[in-house]
Structures are given as C-alpha cells and as structure tokens.
Amino acid sequence: MSHWALLGIRFLYLAKLAWQTTRAIAPKLPPQMSKPANETAKLPLIARKLRKNSVGTFVAISLLNVLPKLQGLDQGRLATWSVQARNQIGTGHLPDYIPLLAAADPTWLAVQVQRIDGQAAMVGNMRQPFVLMSVMKPFLLLFLLELLGQDAVFKHVGMRPSDQSFHSVPQLMVDEGFPRNPMINSGAITLASHLPGATSADRCDKLCEWLNLHAKSNFKLDEQMLASVRSLGNEANRTIARLLHKAGHLDDIETTLDTYNHICCLSGNVSDLARLGLLLAQPRPDISPLHQRIVNALMLTCGLYEASGEFAVRIGLPLKSGVSGAILAIIPGEGAIACYSPPLDATGNSVAGLFLIEQIVQHLNLSVFN
C-alpha cells in the first residue's frame, strides 16, 4: 500500500476517534471546565473557532502528527549541523583497548537520515566502512526473539537499566550473575551463546545473513578488526563470561566470547546502518511487532548505558551506540538516523553522533513523547 494511502487511513481513523471521544465526553464535562465568556472573547479569532469545535482541534493536531516530520529535513540543514558536529569532536577520545579503533581518523563523519518511504538525506564520508561494535546488540536481541521467542530469551537476560558502564563486572556481581539487560556486554555475551551454529564463525554468519536478508544491507565480518580485538584480550569481558557461566547462563566460555567478538566486528557503511534501523521503524510482514516494540523499549531505556535516562529526556528516541563511534536512532513510524564519528564521550557514545541526532530531533520535533 502506498505511503499516502496509509496516511489517509490513519487520518480517517483518528478523525473517527476524535468524533467518538468528543461525543462521549462532552455531556460529562463539569460546568467549571467551560471558560467564562469574557475570557474566551479575549482569544484570537482562529483560537475561538478551534475552541468551539474541539473535533476540529483534535483532527488538526492529529493531522500534524501523522504528516511525516522527516519531510522537513533537507540536505543543506544536515550539512550545516554536520559542520557544527565536527567542531565538537575535540571533546571526545578514541578507545584505546582495540588498537584498530584507536587508529581511526577522528575527523571521519557520516550521517544518513533514512525515511521509511525510501527517501534519504546524507552527508559526509558515506563510503567509509566501520564496525558495529555494540550497535549490533539490539539486532542480536531481535534475531533471537524471532528465533526463540521472548520467554526463552528473557530467561537469560533482564530488562532493567543499569547506571554502571557497559562492561561493569560489579553490576553483574550485584545481580548474582543474571545480566541486567541485552544492551550491555553481559547481556549481549549471554545472548551470543544462544546463537545457532557450531563455531563462532558459523554463529556470526547466521546473524549476518539474517540481517542482510531483511535489511537489504551489506554487512560482512571485518577480519582485521577481529584480529585487533583479539590481540589485547579483554579482561572485563572474560570475567563477565566466567560469572555468567557460573550462574548457568552460558556453557562454553571461549566459543561465546569469540562469537561476541565476531559479531561486534560486523562492518558496513552508514547507509547499511540506516537500513538496519528500518527493521525497527515500522510494522513489516517479516518481523513480529511485539519483538520490535521490545527492542525499541530496551534501546530507549538502556541503549546509551548509564546516559540512557538523560538522552530519553533530551532526544526521546530508541538509541544505540557502539565504541566504534557508530550510533543509531529509531524514529518509530518515520525512519532512522545512522551516524558514524569515532571520538567518544566518557560513557562511550559518539560525541558528534549524539550532537547531530539531538539537532535533527529538536528541529523536527521527533521525540516519541511529543
């Protein structure tokens, strides 16, 4: 069905709802809720007309809400904000525990704002590949929800936000080996152990194939990055895996850690990431709407680790970041914003990526709470 036909149906539905609601509540309004005549008279003509006709008001507001807000974005504005975003990168740092990430060019910057109708605005180093790192976590969760169902998945991972860093060992100890949510390392390492396949490479391939098939993206394993991740080991992740094993949430520590490292090294460009975002942006026949809702809710509450609450207020969208500098925002019913800029803030979120997303969201009124 075309985009306009869908909008038409949504509009008629909202108009019907407005009519029914107004009829249902109108006779029940207590007398003190109607404004005195002299106060109403002070309002401008248009406001008085709208006030007289609450159906009209409701329908007008509904119409404003169903028109795609992303239509207001043009390439020029995106370019201006990208220049401003680049000016922020001095406050960030590159992660030092993965040598190839530490060698990234801090001035690389790419952004793609993808609409569900296929239109997109984009600026920057569009062809520059980067690894997903933790941005794969929502998609690992989505894949396993589709494969195993929510009961099987949430037996091994929680739904609670954490105020600790993404690789916090004390958090997992306090929680007695039960990973708090799928957006932090403990949760994703647990889920990685439930991917189907005999070896870590098989497991990564299965996830990658599924993503590329459904998102029409072109992700592939970055072998050099994987070698770099393996080169320094990661003591926090190893301790996390041991604690998870002890609590019975994963069986083979080595295969699980290696699977987790593989899937962190899935690589694509910012257009691939934007297309991935569309898996969560609108109802679609190939993915359960309940699973989309679960993933979006966990991205909103946990996707930026301990900064999630602050950015739920400032941005108000499901978000996920990774230490590569990748960051993804889902705009339910509208599309997705994918950014890549390597310098990170103290929490491990891309400085310029967050700046850009915040600009776009504020100017176009994209928060889900509007």
Contacts with ligand GLN by CB under 6 A lie at 133-134, 166-167, 185, 234, 237, 264, 322-323, 348
Closest approach of ligand GLN to the CB of residue 6, in Å: 35
Element (H, E) at 111: strand 110-115
Closest approach of ligand GLN to the CB of residue 324, in Å: 7
Report whether 247 contacts 234 (CB < 8 A).
no
Q: Measured between alpha carbons, how far is 293 from 280 in angstroms, rounded to an integer?
A: 8
The residue at minimum Cβ distance from ligand GLN is 134
Q: Measured between alpha carbons, how far is 188 from 175 in angstroms, rounded to an integer?
A: 16
Closest approach of ligand GLN to the CB of residue 323, in Å: 4
Report whether 337 contacts 114 (CB < 8 A).
yes
Closest approach of ligand GLN to the CB of residue 112, in Å: 20
Closest approach of ligand GLN to the CB of residue 155, in Å: 23
Closest approach of ligand GLN to the CB of residue 236, in Å: 7
Closest approach of ligand GLN to the CB of residue 122, in Å: 23
Q: Which is nearer to ligand GLN, 114 or 185 (CB)?
A: 185
Q: Which is nearer to ligand GLN, 152 or 232 (CB)?
A: 232
Closest CA to 158 of 137, 139, 175, 138: 175
Q: Which is nearer to ligand GLN, 250 or 323 (CB)?
A: 323
Q: Measured between alpha carbons, how far is 17 from 58 in angstroms, rounded to an integer?
A: 9
Q: Which is nearer to ligand GLN, 167 or 180 (CB)?
A: 167
Element (H, E) at 221: strand 220-221
Tell me 265's DSSP state.
T
Q: Which is nearer to ligand GLN, 167 or 203 (CB)?
A: 167
Q: Which is nearer to ligand GLN, 88 or 185 (CB)?
A: 185
Max Cα–Cα distance, the chain, nearest Å: 77
Q: Measured between alpha carbons, how far is 171 from 240 in angstroms, rounded to an integer?
A: 10
Q: Which is nearer to ligand GLN, 185 or 212 (CB)?
A: 185
Type of residue numbered 6: L
Q: Measured between alpha carbons, how far is 48 from 288 in angstroms, rounded to an integer?
A: 45
Closest approach of ligand GLN to the CB of residue 208, in Å: 16
Closest approach of ligand GLN to the CB of residue 185, in Å: 5
**Cα three-residue angle 192-286-292, rounded to 5 degrees:** 60
Q: Which is nearer to ligand GLN, 18 or 323 (CB)?
A: 323
Q: Tell me the sheet residues that pair with 112.
A: 122, 338
> Considering just the CA atoms, what is the radius of gyration of the chain in Å?
23
Q: Which is nearer to ligand GLN, 168 or 282 (CB)?
A: 168
Helix 54-66 × helix 3-25 angle, to 10°: 150
The two tokens of residue 301 are 């509450």
